[in-house]
A and B are shown apart, each in its own frame.
Chain A
Amino acid sequence: MKIINNPILLKDMKTKLRGWRTPVLISCYVLLLTGILLLFFLGNNMLDRYSTSAFDPRLAVDAYNYIIVFQFALLFLIVPAMTATSISGERERQTLELMLVTQTPTHDIIIGKILISVAHSILLLLSSMPVLGMVFFFGGIGIMEIVKLLIFYVLTSFFVASSGVFFSTLFRKSIVAIISTYIFLGLLTFGTFFVLGFRAIIMEYVTHSSIDVTYATYLTSLFPSPVFGFTSFYFDKGDYYSFRYSLWGELASEINSQIAYETSILRFLKPWIANGLFDILASALLIFMSSIMLSPLIRKK
């Protein structure tokens, strides 16, 4: 079955897009992003023509950083909520068996469900492009950076959606599936930092001296964390008021500087590429396991 012909995706697109909810949701989302951007500019006196402070176009880079972090956080909140009910919802609506009795293999059902949320994410991301485009007025961000960011967003939403569908297949109740998905993603996102810290402590304990945390240490500990991958998209404009002095900014600066010191081949494996590769492999595994679990001849009841 071709992806574009996936009846589950087609049905959802048809029913969701013809109602009033989706256009209203997209409008609210774009208005929210615009509001954040305006507030940022207002807060930095960039829209005040009588302001005595100097106009600093580099502030647009910080605005870009704020917006992409906001989008990333929103993706993490919306996608699990959409996908963690996808299979359990069908089960509760008593429509799952009607799907399973058709000639559509279980992996196509799973992929259809994932594609629905990826398509919604793409729709939200594309609709936010005009807002992100505003930072181009001020320069500093290249178009290729935006393209790379979009690819990373799509890969991340595919992985997050795969996790949601996996837990939706595993648990019969939607609420259990939603909570499990958030816990799983939370552990993957922040738990890996505990792994990094734990590793550093062990290494110090073994060598009895303070150790240098290199890019290789970061990479091998944090590669499953989307926050690690996201550090590739941080733009440092290098002044005192920079976004750098946020937790994410600090982390991104540290990792980016470690990449600069890295001499091995690992320096080419940027955080977003490493995390993106993990997303692809983990999604494939989650889809495979979900398909097996969904198969009626394997399920117990």
Chain B
Amino acid sequence: MMLVVENLTKKFKKTMAVDRLCMEIPRGEIYGFVGANGAGKTTTMRIIAGLLAPTSGKVYIDGLNIFRDPLKVKGRIGYMPDFFGVYNDLKVSEYMEFYGGLQGIYGEKCRELTDSLLELVRLTHKRDAYVDTLSRGMKQRLCLARSLIHDPDFLILDEPASGLDPRARVEMKEILKELRTMGKTVLISSHILPELAELCTSIGIIDSGRLVASGSVAEITEKMYQSGLIKIKVAEKEEEAVKILMEMPEVGELSSVAGVIEIKVSGGEETSVRVLKTLVENEIPVVSFHPEECSLEAVFMSLTERSSENENNQ
């Protein structure tokens, strides 16, 4: 395992930012960390990066306890925060060499690494430009290159694509794909869920400091399909169809507008089959029967909705 988090808790005065969070990331995984603003993503990532002391809990990176061997662990992680602190009076190459020095890499080796990383993030042509002349997207890519200067095995990327225009986002995504092929383990947080679904091998959904779901994208959507949405269009007998559906125990919420009935069902594909079969057996003229494909966005909305409902009930 590259990352093991055990019962991580962080409390700021009265606010519980992270609440008994447990997670594991195997080596080589691209793990998407999903959550609303204030859900505890950045706090968790800062603790994992060794920048914040937790209230309780343990974090192991590559088998090393980050609180016992902080300097050893820092040699294995690359951290990119959701802001880009840069020194405007430095040139791009000097910026890289400065952080190389902080990681204990000097001279020719540092220059070689700088060249290869600037090539990776497509900034070779800006080598001698001052950092303050770079666009936001370029600064983000430079920050990514900085986090890679010591060739870490594990990358912690907090919202690497935030505030970027669509082109810059695509470029960032391409770079992250290259990192995946390089065998890096990546923990990445983002608000742009479809991008995460495309990029990540597994995801974790955090809500109010708690990890409410974790696993591969397929696993989570499959699990969520257990309570999917079905859109049914009927040619006539709408009222009768509604009555039949309401009598079925698997059917939860139901709404009906102009011949289109939307139902929430619990259970997987078997339930869908049973609903359609019942309607057909009762001679309801079904025009279309469309179980909604469960997107990561839908999963996220559903899980965080449930969690906030639970909180309200408590």
Please report A residues at the B interface, Cβ cutoff 8 Å.
1, 5, 7-8, 10-11, 14-15, 19, 93-105, 296-301
Contact status A103-B102, CB under 8 Å:
yes
- Measured between beta carbons, the chain A residues less than 8 angstroms from B103 are 102-104
Contact status B85-A93, CB under 8 Å:
yes
Q: Which of B52, B75, B90 has a CB less than 8 Å from the CB of A103?
A: B75
Jot down 5 A-B pairs with beta carbons below 8 A, ordered by A. Answer: A11-B98, A103-B74, A103-B75, A104-B102, A299-B52
Contact status A296-B52, CB under 8 Å:
yes
B270 lies within 8 A of chain A by Cβ: no
Please report B residues at the A interface, Cβ cutoff 8 Å.
12, 46, 49-53, 67, 70-71, 74-75, 77, 79, 81, 83-87, 89-90, 94, 98-104, 106, 146, 150
Q: Which of A96, A97, A298 has a CB less than 8 Å from the CB of B53?
A: A298
Given known A-B contacts A5-B106, A297-B50, A94 and B89 have beta carbons under 8 A apart: no
Chain B nearest CB from A237 CB (Å) reads 48
Q: Which A-chain residue is minimally distant from B87 (CB atoms)?
A: A95
Q: Is the interface of B mostly helix, strand, loop or mixed?
A: loop
Complex: how many Å from CA A19 to CA B90?
A: 12
Contact status A101-B74, CB under 8 Å:
yes
9 tightest CB-CB pairs across the interface, nearest first?
Answer: A7-B101, A94-B85, A95-B85, A102-B102, A101-B79, A296-B51, A104-B102, A15-B89, A297-B53
Q: Which A-chain residue is minimally distant from B70 (CB atoms)?
A: A297
Chain A nearest CB from B200 CB (Å) reads 23
Q: Which A-chain residue is minimally distant from B89 (CB atoms)?
A: A15
Q: Which A-chain residue is minimally distant from B88 (CB atoms)?
A: A93
Q: Which of B49, B86, B89, B104 has a CB less than 8 Å from the CB of A101?
A: B49
Complex: how many Å from CA A1 to CA B102?
A: 9
For the A-B complex with A10-B101, A103-B103 known, give 16 more contacts whose Cβ atoms are closer than 8 Å: A5-B106, A7-B100, A10-B98, A11-B94, A14-B94, A15-B87, A15-B89, A15-B90, A95-B87, A97-B85, A98-B99, A99-B102, A102-B99, A104-B103, A297-B67, A299-B53
- Measured between beta carbons, the chain A residues less than 8 angstroms from B74 are 101-103
Complex: how many Å from CA A103 to CA B69?
A: 11
Given known A-B contacts A15-B89, A93-B85, A94-B85, A101 and B98 have beta carbons under 8 A apart: no
- Measured between beta carbons, the chain B residues less than 8 angstroms from A298 are 53
Contact status A98-B85, CB under 8 Å:
yes
Complex: how many Å from CA A101 to CA B104?
A: 13
- Measured between beta carbons, the chain B residues less than 8 angstroms from A94 are 81, 83-85
Chain B nearest CB from A185 CB (Å) reads 29
